[in-house]
Amino acid sequence: MPYAAYVRDATPMTPGSKRLLVIEDNDGDVFLIKRALQENDIPAEVIVCRDGESAVRLLNSQEMESPPDAIIIDLALPRIEGLEILRKILHRPAYVGTPIMVFTSSPSPSDKHRVELLAGARYVQKPSGLKNFLREVAENVKSMLAGRNKDEPGSKRT
């Protein structure tokens, strides 16, 4: 089976739906992110990259000439780590202002600090428990798609 660079959600775009780029290698987390969107009536076309290399290929493709409405990135990715992908995104003029959430299971203060040094992304540690996970995704994605800046009141950061 050939390796797919990325997977586009089969859900067709509907009026008012947004494009959400999810860069995550854990299929269970991708499933839960999509579930959080569905359960909270957040219309979004989800584009999934399962590793850093496929994310770079997608970002360099004609399909991504215009940035997605929001991006979720895991730090622990195969091939190219999430922090390097974040750097690449933040250095693209077209992506300035695109809301980005680094969504990671890492409790490391140094990981959080490295993300904060780059500025331009919110750092959210993946919570334990299904309800907490779904709530955290829904609240942050709603906030990002509403155009809130990461430092505005109401944005979720840990």
pLDDT tens figures, 10-37 = 455 566 679 999 999 999 999 999 999 9
pLDDT tens by residue, 142-157 = 999 997 444 433 334 4
Q: What percent of the chain has pLDDT over 90?
A: 68
What is the average pLDDT across 111-122? 91
pLDDT band at 6 (very low <50, low <70, confident <90, very high): low
pLDDT band at 158 (very low <50, low <70, confident <90, very high): very low
Q: In this predicted structure, what is the pLDDT of residue 135?
A: 97
3-class DSSP state of 19 = strand
Q: In this predicted structure, what is the pLDDT of residue 9?
A: 56
153 to each of 81, 98, 127, 136, 148, how far by Cα in Å? 30, 18, 21, 16, 9
Q: In this predicted structure, what is the pLDDT of residue 1?
A: 31
Q: In this predicted structure, what is the pLDDT of residue 119?
A: 86
Architecture of the domain spanning 7-145: 3-Layer(aba) Sandwich (3.40)
Structural domain boundaries of the chain?
A: 7-145
pLDDT tens by residue, 73-95 = 999 999 999 999 999 999 998 89
